[in-house]
Amino acid sequence: MYLAVTGLALQLDRIMRATFQGINVAIIDVWQMTSCHYSKENIHPNPTVIRNEIDLLLSFISPV
């Protein structure tokens, strides 16, 4: 089951990237940041992960 879900996610990722190719859209891939965090497994990311993802996004918008 896990491989089927992973395969579907990979397929959807490829479709999304192809859809936005050629236009001024950036995709910030944070899957590893969510899936590899040490926090307890949950369907939703831990608040620490969410904060890190927001910090990453803001670093592209307004680098210090």
- Structure confidence by residue, pLDDT tens digits, 30-62: 877 777 777 777 777 888 888 988 998 998 887
On the question of pLDDT at 11 being above 50, the answer is: yes
Does a structural domain hold residue 13? no
CB 30 within 8 A of CB 4: no
Does a structural domain hold residue 6? no
Name the band, by pLDDT with cuts 50, 70 and 90, for residue 1. very low
Domain count within the chain: 1
Does a structural domain hold residue 59? yes
Average pLDDT over residues 6-13: 85
Does a structural domain hold residue 16? no
CB 60 within 8 A of CB 29: no
Does a structural domain hold residue 38? yes
Does a structural domain hold residue 3? no
Does a structural domain hold residue 43? yes
Please give the distance of CA 27 from its chain centroid, rounded to a whole number: 8
The C-alpha atoms of residue 31 and residue 50 are separated, in whole angstroms, by 11
In terms of residue numbers, what domain contains 61? 25-64
CB 37 within 8 A of CB 46: yes
Does a structural domain hold residue 36? yes
Name the band, by pLDDT with cuts 50, 70 and 90, for residue 23. very high
pTM: 0.64
